[in-house]
Amino acid sequence: MRLSFIFLLIGYFVLTIPIEQTESISVKCVACKAAVEAFKFAYEKNSTSAKIIEFANFICKTFTNNEPLICKGITSQFKDQFLYVLEQLIFSPAQLCGTILSDCGSPHNPFQSNWTIPLPPKSKWKENPYFDSKYTIRERTSDGQKTFRVLQLSDLHFDLNYKPGAEADCKSPICCQAEPQKNSKDIIDFETYFFNLSRSSQEKEPVWELLYSAKTEYNMTDLSPRSWNELNEKLRTNLKVFDTFVKNYGRRDDYPCNLECRTSLLCSIRSGHHNSSALCRDVGPTGDPLAPILKKRSPNKKGFLETVKSAIWGHLSSWISDSL
């Protein structure tokens, strides 16, 4: 009975979030904190794992930009690991919402913290039957300097294009490779493929399917800098082309991109590696020819909040009925 009463109090809090607060506080931030508060309480009261996973999936789909398939996979396929991490790193609403939403609380990323990992005792040296004298581990170098043994706990990468002595701190996604000759290659096309996990099995070879071709999708004659610049202008003036770009950028049909998101995307495309705001003067909200349209179709704040309230109350009602 006490559990039901506390759930009712949380439900009352969620359902009475004042809309006026959203003028100074993000609607998503307020709703996220309410959802996490209810989720945290349910976890601490030992609700069933199925209920916890169901509500965690709801939070992931509602307050992050992950695709629903990703949210479902994290909370179901890796259920045991998810529940273990949740137990070890139970967050406050401000910490969790601050991590997944900007300007919402105090974010805390456990992967940016120092972790103490106990290591097993050092085993005694055993003669290796496959020992090769060419790879002897020496305690000191030829000039007397002490060497170090390193235990690497991350993954290893095998690069066929690795070049010893190449630049390790470069501007490319992958470094330590031979620098290509400048202006010696032309990009023919940019294609994105996808792998449908629902059609996969261990018995069959994976089949990658073409999602889109940049030249075809954006009606480009080539991928020269001039063509990319023309596409940039189309993104600024043509709503259909911009919507197509956002869909491909977010890898989903319903990727949310309001006027603020659009301004950020267009400015990033304009700036490139220059980091100059001077190139973004005509892509801001005041000079955006599509700003009125985007403002009209942006989700209503009150409507979004009511949707979140309804969903949270549905979960709370289910938990209450289970506890009676």
Amino acid letter, residue 243: D
Rounded distance between C-alpha atoms, residue 214 and residue 191, angstroms? 6
pLDDT at position 322 is 59
Residues 34 and 102 sit within 8 Å (Cβ to Cβ): no
pLDDT at position 215 is 92
pLDDT at position 111 is 56
pLDDT at position 217 is 92
Question: Residue ranges of the chain with pLDDT lower than 70?
Answer: 1-26, 45-47, 65-69, 77-78, 85-93, 99-100, 102, 105-117, 120, 122-139, 154-155, 172-173, 180-184, 272-278, 285, 298-324
Amino acid letter, residue 136: T
Q: Residues 6 or more apart from 319 whose CB is under 8 A from it? A: 7, 42, 47, 51
The candidate with the shortest Cα–Cα distance to 246, out of 10, 32, 117, 65, is: 65
Q: Residues 6 or more apart from 178 whose CB is under 8 A from it? A: 161, 163, 166
Rounded distance between C-alpha atoms, residue 174 and residue 162, angstroms? 10
**Token pair of 232 as six digits:** 């940039």
Which spans in the chain are helix H? 2-15, 27-44, 49-63, 68-72, 79-88, 93-100, 214-217, 225-237, 239-250, 259-271, 291-297, 301-323
pLDDT at position 21 is 43
pLDDT at position 257 is 81
pLDDT at position 7 is 37
∠ Cα 254 282 252 (to 5°)? 10
Give the predicted TM-score (pTM) of the model: 0.41
Rounded distance between C-alpha atoms, residue 148 and residue 145, angstroms? 10
- DSSP structural state of residue 169: S
pLDDT at position 15 is 40
pLDDT at position 80 is 75
pLDDT at position 109 is 61
